[in-house]
Amino acid sequence: MEDCIFCKIVKGEIPCFKVYEDERVLAFEDINPISKGHTLLIPKAHAANLQEISDDDLAAVHLASKKVIRAIQEVLHPTGVAALQLNGKGANQVVMHYHLHLVPRLPGGPPLPVSAWELQPGDMETIKRTAEKISGAMVK
Ligand code: 5GP
Ligand code: ZN
Protein backbone atom coordinates (compact mmCIF):
# COMPACT_ATOMS: atom_id res chain seq x y z
CA MET A 1 0.00 0.00 0.00
CA GLU A 2 1.41 3.31 -1.15
CA ASP A 3 1.18 5.48 1.96
CA CYS A 4 1.97 2.74 4.48
CA ILE A 5 5.20 3.27 6.38
CA PHE A 6 5.73 -0.46 6.99
CA CYS A 7 5.14 -1.27 3.30
CA LYS A 8 7.87 1.29 2.58
CA ILE A 9 10.17 -0.53 5.01
CA VAL A 10 9.39 -3.84 3.25
CA LYS A 11 10.26 -2.24 -0.12
CA GLY A 12 13.50 -0.78 1.30
CA GLU A 13 12.32 2.81 0.72
CA ILE A 14 12.72 3.51 4.45
CA PRO A 15 15.61 1.93 6.37
CA CYS A 16 15.17 -0.35 9.36
CA PHE A 17 17.30 -2.29 11.81
CA LYS A 18 16.40 -5.75 10.53
CA VAL A 19 16.74 -8.76 12.81
CA TYR A 20 14.96 -11.44 10.75
CA GLU A 21 13.42 -12.00 7.33
CA ASP A 22 11.80 -14.86 5.46
CA GLU A 23 9.51 -15.18 2.44
CA ARG A 24 6.48 -13.73 4.26
CA VAL A 25 7.83 -11.92 7.31
CA LEU A 26 10.13 -9.05 8.27
CA ALA A 27 11.25 -8.32 11.85
CA PHE A 28 13.02 -5.11 12.88
CA GLU A 29 13.66 -2.93 15.89
CA ASP A 30 11.05 -0.36 16.95
CA ILE A 31 12.54 3.14 16.69
CA ASN A 32 10.64 4.28 19.80
CA PRO A 33 11.49 1.30 21.99
CA ILE A 34 9.63 0.72 25.26
CA SER A 35 12.70 -1.28 26.28
CA LYS A 36 15.97 -2.49 24.75
CA GLY A 37 15.21 -5.14 22.13
CA HIS A 38 11.65 -3.95 21.40
CA THR A 39 11.05 -5.70 18.08
CA LEU A 40 8.24 -5.57 15.51
CA LEU A 41 7.25 -8.49 13.28
CA ILE A 42 5.18 -7.75 10.18
CA PRO A 43 3.80 -9.63 7.19
CA LYS A 44 5.44 -8.42 3.97
CA ALA A 45 1.99 -8.30 2.36
CA HIS A 46 -0.07 -5.35 3.54
CA ALA A 47 -2.95 -6.15 5.91
CA ALA A 48 -4.27 -3.56 8.34
CA ASN A 49 -5.10 -5.76 11.29
CA LEU A 50 -6.03 -9.17 12.69
CA GLN A 51 -9.33 -9.08 10.81
CA GLU A 52 -7.57 -8.61 7.44
CA ILE A 53 -4.37 -10.66 7.64
CA SER A 54 -4.39 -13.98 5.77
CA ASP A 55 -4.19 -17.20 7.76
CA ASP A 56 -0.83 -18.07 6.17
CA ASP A 57 0.71 -14.68 6.99
CA LEU A 58 -0.68 -14.76 10.52
CA ALA A 59 0.84 -18.18 11.08
CA ALA A 60 4.15 -17.07 9.53
CA VAL A 61 4.43 -13.95 11.73
CA HIS A 62 3.72 -15.87 14.91
CA LEU A 63 6.02 -18.77 14.01
CA ALA A 64 8.76 -16.23 13.28
CA SER A 65 8.12 -14.64 16.68
CA LYS A 66 9.26 -17.90 18.30
CA LYS A 67 12.60 -17.59 16.48
CA VAL A 68 13.00 -13.92 17.40
CA ILE A 69 12.05 -14.39 21.07
CA ARG A 70 14.66 -17.17 21.30
CA ALA A 71 17.35 -14.79 19.98
CA ILE A 72 16.21 -11.97 22.29
CA GLN A 73 16.40 -14.40 25.21
CA GLU A 74 19.92 -15.44 24.23
CA VAL A 75 21.41 -11.95 23.93
CA LEU A 76 19.39 -9.82 26.38
CA HIS A 77 18.38 -12.35 29.07
CA PRO A 78 15.04 -10.64 29.76
CA THR A 79 13.00 -11.61 32.81
CA GLY A 80 9.96 -11.69 30.51
CA VAL A 81 8.79 -10.66 27.04
CA ALA A 82 5.35 -9.20 26.27
CA ALA A 83 3.88 -10.14 22.87
CA LEU A 84 1.40 -7.43 21.98
CA GLN A 85 -0.71 -6.65 18.93
CA LEU A 86 -3.19 -3.75 18.60
CA ASN A 87 -6.22 -3.52 16.30
CA GLY A 88 -7.84 -0.19 15.53
CA LYS A 89 -7.36 3.40 16.61
CA GLY A 90 -9.42 2.83 19.77
CA ALA A 91 -6.81 0.27 20.87
CA ASN A 92 -4.02 2.78 20.10
CA GLN A 93 -2.95 1.15 16.84
CA VAL A 94 -0.93 3.87 15.14
CA VAL A 95 0.53 2.09 12.11
CA MET A 96 -2.27 0.41 10.15
CA HIS A 97 -0.15 -2.50 8.92
CA TYR A 98 -0.42 -5.63 11.09
CA HIS A 99 2.48 -5.91 13.51
CA LEU A 100 3.33 -7.98 16.53
CA HIS A 101 5.39 -6.26 19.22
CA LEU A 102 7.91 -8.26 21.25
CA VAL A 103 8.80 -6.15 24.28
CA PRO A 104 11.45 -7.56 26.61
CA ARG A 105 11.66 -6.61 30.26
CA LEU A 106 15.32 -6.57 31.20
CA PRO A 107 16.69 -7.55 34.62
CA GLY A 108 16.35 -4.54 36.92
CA GLY A 109 14.19 -2.73 34.36
CA PRO A 110 10.85 -1.11 35.20
CA PRO A 111 7.59 -3.03 34.80
CA LEU A 112 6.34 -2.99 31.22
CA PRO A 113 3.52 -0.42 30.85
CA VAL A 114 1.79 -2.77 28.41
CA SER A 115 1.37 -5.53 30.98
CA ALA A 116 1.00 -3.67 34.28
CA TRP A 117 -2.76 -3.23 34.48
CA GLU A 118 -4.55 -3.79 37.79
CA LEU A 119 -6.91 -6.76 38.05
CA GLN A 120 -10.47 -5.83 39.04
CA PRO A 121 -12.97 -8.66 39.56
CA GLY A 122 -15.76 -8.46 36.96
CA ASP A 123 -19.50 -9.05 37.28
CA MET A 124 -19.96 -12.78 36.54
CA GLU A 125 -23.48 -12.35 35.11
CA THR A 126 -22.23 -9.69 32.66
CA ILE A 127 -19.20 -11.81 31.72
CA LYS A 128 -21.47 -14.82 31.13
CA ARG A 129 -23.90 -12.84 28.95
CA THR A 130 -21.03 -11.37 26.91
CA ALA A 131 -19.49 -14.82 26.41
CA GLU A 132 -22.86 -16.12 25.20
CA LYS A 133 -23.19 -13.25 22.72
CA ILE A 134 -19.67 -13.74 21.34
CA SER A 135 -19.93 -17.50 21.13
CA GLY A 136 -23.31 -17.11 19.42
CA ALA A 137 -21.68 -14.92 16.77
CA MET A 138 -18.79 -17.31 16.10
CA VAL A 139 -18.41 -18.52 12.53
CA LYS A 140 -17.12 -22.08 12.40
P1 5GP B 1 1.15 0.55 17.28
O2 5GP B 1 0.67 1.52 18.32
O3 5GP B 1 0.53 0.81 15.93
O4 5GP B 1 0.97 -0.89 17.72
O5 5GP B 1 2.69 0.76 17.19
C6 5GP B 1 3.37 1.23 16.07
C7 5GP B 1 4.84 1.14 16.39
O8 5GP B 1 5.57 1.41 15.22
C9 5GP B 1 5.29 2.14 17.46
O10 5GP B 1 5.86 1.42 18.55
C11 5GP B 1 6.29 3.00 16.72
O12 5GP B 1 7.39 3.35 17.52
C13 5GP B 1 6.71 2.12 15.57
N14 5GP B 1 7.12 2.87 14.38
C15 5GP B 1 6.44 3.88 13.79
N16 5GP B 1 7.11 4.32 12.70
C17 5GP B 1 8.23 3.55 12.60
C18 5GP B 1 9.31 3.51 11.68
O19 5GP B 1 9.40 4.28 10.70
N20 5GP B 1 10.28 2.58 11.90
C21 5GP B 1 10.22 1.71 12.95
N22 5GP B 1 11.21 0.83 13.07
N23 5GP B 1 9.21 1.71 13.85
C24 5GP B 1 8.23 2.64 13.67
ZN1 ZN C 1 1.48 -1.71 4.71
Give the integer Cα–Cα distance in Å for 79 and 124. Answer: 33
Backbone angles phi, psi at 13, to 5 degrees: -80, -25
Taking only the tens place, the pLDDT of each residue in 110-131 is: 999 888 888 999 999 999 999 9
Task: Tell me how far the alpha carbon of residue 68 lies from the centroid of ligand 2, in angstroms.
Answer: 21
User: Whole domain around residue 76: which residue ranges?
Assistant: 5-137
Neighbours of 84 (CB within 10 A): 14
Active site residues: 99
How many structural domains does the chain have? 1
Task: Tell me how far the alpha carbon of residue 54 lies from the centroid of ligand 1, in angstroms.
Answer: 21
Taking only the tens place, the pLDDT of each residue in 19-73 is: 999 999 999 999 999 999 999 999 999 999 999 999 999 999 999 999 999 999 9
Tell me the CA end-to-end span of the chain in Å, nearest whole number.
Answer: 31
Half-sphere exposure of 87 toward its Cβ, with a 13 Å CA cutoff?
6
34 lines ligand 1 (CB under 6 A): no
pLDDT grade for 132, boundaries at 50, 70 and 90: very high
11: domain CATH number?
3.30.428.10
Task: Tell me how far the alpha carbon of residue 138 lies from the centroid of ligand 2, in angstroms.
Answer: 28
Residue among 43, 38, 51 at smallest CA distance from 84 = 38
Closest residue (by CA) to atom 19 of ligand 1? 5
Taking only the tens place, the pLDDT of each residue in 74-105 is: 999 999 999 999 999 999 999 999 999 999 99
